[in-house]
Amino acid sequence: MKLAIRLSLATLLASATGLAAAQTVLTVASFKDLDRSVTAAIPLYKKLHPDVEIKLVALGYGDHHNAMITALATGANLPDVMGIEIGFVAKFAEGGGVEDLSKPPYNALQYKDKFFKFSVAQATSRGGIFAAMPADIGPGALFYRKDLMDKAGITEAQLTKSWPSFIDAGKTLKAKTGSYLIPHAAAIKDIIIRSGLKDGEGIYFDSKGKILVESPRFVNAFETAKLARAAGIDAKIGAWSNEWSEGFKRGTIASEMMGSWLAGHLKNWIAPDTKGNWRSAGIPGGVNASYGGSFYAIPKGSKNKALAWDFVQFMSTNREVQIAAFRELDAFPALVDATTDAFVDQPMEFLGGQKARQDWKATAAKIPATDVDKLDPVAAEVVAAEFDKVLEQGKDVKTALADAKKAIERRVRR
């Protein structure tokens, strides 16, 4: 009898504590680094909603997206809000697993003009589904080693004027200092296929799903990258490899074209000792492109959509929150309003006191709102494989692009 009484008392107590803690719990799933912006925003959100408990589940980049795909596939363990990287937005949107935020009760299109226009386009997939709210963006820039360029007598104008002049500068640099100008010729290809695009155009597919890889854009991209390889200005090193970071550390690679966030990576772990030697410039040939970007979406299986939407709005449209992420993590805001913060005008020590954020802001405003397709990653993979053959095996550019088109057609099932 005693045991029974004890047991029932225990259950009573447990349920009582459960009642006392009966707050609303909002589950937010995010990936590493983006989770820090959520952590930074939680105290601010608590001020407005003291009764809401935010449960943050953060995994590594790959693990997080795999976990989200599994959750969407099975409908189990779905969070209320999910942070997603640009490469997955279209895939999640077209699968129909996330809420279309353009529809009521969300009506997210009211915020359309508050963001840099290209980030809204990135979040919109086929059929006008507005799948996710933009959080941060990565305006593209050319980061280069000022000290090495000075040694070789190369000016910034020479680097940025045009691709031929960029390649010539690379030759001079190689002759005078022995350093390579870029890690891999693929960077040039990736930029040129994004050049000259207008609002509403896609990189690999047009609005009707036609494959565009045989267009002059791609031919030019492949040919120019081939010239760069022939000129011997690329170190033949893939991004994010050990050789890549080691090359920046030792100064054997003098520049890289990526999103503005690369400055943070260089400063924090890749090459902290090269502080003050780097500068940021526009991408050669005046191309405005974006690299990466993070978004927040609400899965259809979310248990508390109203609150989830409130939180998503808070993360993406609240100026204070966006500035907090900007200042603390250097995540470039997607919210135009947040880029009027004084932080933009601060000189950056790592870039030798350059006020580079002003340039990035200007770039962000100029990036065209290109169309995205859920098959973009597939097309990118096929094009990259053919590009390798052109560089390594001397495959003819036209044949390679024709083969790429065929290979994409075989992978596509609409």
Partner 1 sequence: MSAVLAPNGKPAKERKRRRLKPWQLMPYVFVAPFFILFLTFGLFPLLFSAYASFFRWELTAGLGNMKWEGLGNYAFVLQVNDLPWSRFFSGEFWSELYARDFWRAMYNTFWLGIVSGLPQHLIAVPLAFFIHTKFRRARNPVIAMYFLPYITNTVAITLVFSSLFSRDFGVINQVLTGLGHLELFGIHPLAWLFPAQNVDWGRPEYTRPIVSFIVWWRFVGWNTVLYLSALQTIPKDLYEAATIDGAGLLQQFRYITVPLLRPMMLLAVTLTIIGNLQLFEEPFILTGGSGGVGQVAETVAMQMYKVGLNDGDFGTASAVAWLMFMVIAALTWLNNRTLGRKD
Closest Cα partner for 337 from 348, 329, 328, 326?
326
| Cβ proximity of 142 and 257 under 8 Å | yes
Q: Closest separation between CB of residue 121 and partner 1, Å?
A: 20
Q: Counting contacts by CB under 8 A, is residue 411 touching partner 1?
A: yes
Restricted to residues 97-136, the positions that interact with partner 1 (CB under 8 A) are 97
Quote the DSSP letter at residue 51.
T
Q: Counting contacts by CB under 8 A, is residue 359 touching partner 1?
A: no
| Cβ proximity of 252 and 235 under 8 Å | yes
Q: How far is CA 320 from CA 127, 272, 335, in A?
A: 33, 29, 11
64: tokens are 């997080």
Nearer to partner 1, 91 or 357 (CB): 91
Q: Counting contacts by CB under 8 A, is residue 210 touching partner 1?
A: no
| Cβ proximity of 402 and 218 under 8 Å | no
Number of residues that bind partner 1 (CB under 8 A): 37
Return the ∠ at Cα 262 (arms to 157 and 228), rounded to 5°: 50
Q: Counting contacts by CB under 8 A, is residue 232 touching partner 1?
A: no
Q: Counting contacts by CB under 8 A, is residue 410 touching partner 1?
A: yes
Q: Counting contacts by CB under 8 A, is residue 230 touching partner 1?
A: no
Q: For the chain, count helices (H), then strands (E).
A: 17, 10
Among 13, 73, 175, 362, binds partner 1 (CB under 8 A): 73
Nearer to partner 1, 55 or 411 (CB): 411
Q: Counting contacts by CB under 8 A, is residue 362 touching partner 1?
A: no
Q: Which H or E run contains 137?
A: strand 133-145
11: tokens are 């259950």
Q: Closest separation between CB of residue 361 and partner 1, Å?
A: 34
Restricted to residues 33-72, the positions that interact with partner 1 (CB under 8 A) are 66, 69, 72
Q: Counting contacts by CB under 8 A, is residue 238 touching partner 1?
A: yes
Q: State how far the Cα of 301 lies from the Cα of 307, in Å rounded to an integer.
A: 14
Q: Counting contacts by CB under 8 A, is residue 92 touching partner 1?
A: yes
Q: Counting contacts by CB under 8 A, is residue 406 touching partner 1?
A: yes
Restricted to residues 286-305, the positions that interact with partner 1 (CB under 8 A) are 301
Restricted to residues 369-388, the positions that interact with partner 1 (CB under 8 A) are 377-378, 381, 384-385, 388
Q: For residue 84, give the 3-state DSSP assignment.
A: strand
Candidates 52-60, 242-250, 278-286, 349-357 — which segment interacts with partner 1 by CB under 8 A? Answer: 242-250
| Cβ proximity of 232 and 171 under 8 Å | yes
Name the residue with tokens 């959750």. Answer: 71
Q: State how far the Cα of 353 lies from the Cα of 401, in Å rounded to an integer.
A: 43
| Cβ proximity of 284 and 278 under 8 Å | no
Restricted to residues 248-267, the positions that interact with partner 1 (CB under 8 A) are 252
**126, amino acid identity:** R
| CB-side neighbour CA atoms (13 Å) of 113 | 1
Which residue blocks in 49-180 are alpha helix, DSSP H? 61-74, 86-95, 117-123, 146-152, 156-160, 163-177
Q: Counting contacts by CB under 8 A, is residue 242 touching partner 1?
A: yes
Candidates 100-108, 148-156, 234-242, 310-318 — which segment interacts with partner 1 by CB under 8 A? Answer: 234-242
Q: Counting contacts by CB under 8 A, is residue 85 touching partner 1?
A: no
Nearer to partner 1, 69 or 329 (CB): 69
Candidates 31-39, 135-143, 237-245, 322-330 — which segment interacts with partner 1 by CB under 8 A? Answer: 237-245
- Binding region for partner 1 (CB under 8 A): 66, 69, 72-75, 91-92, 94-97, 236-238, 241-243, 246-247, 252, 301, 377-378, 381, 384-385, 388-389, 392-393, 403, 406-407, 410-411, 413
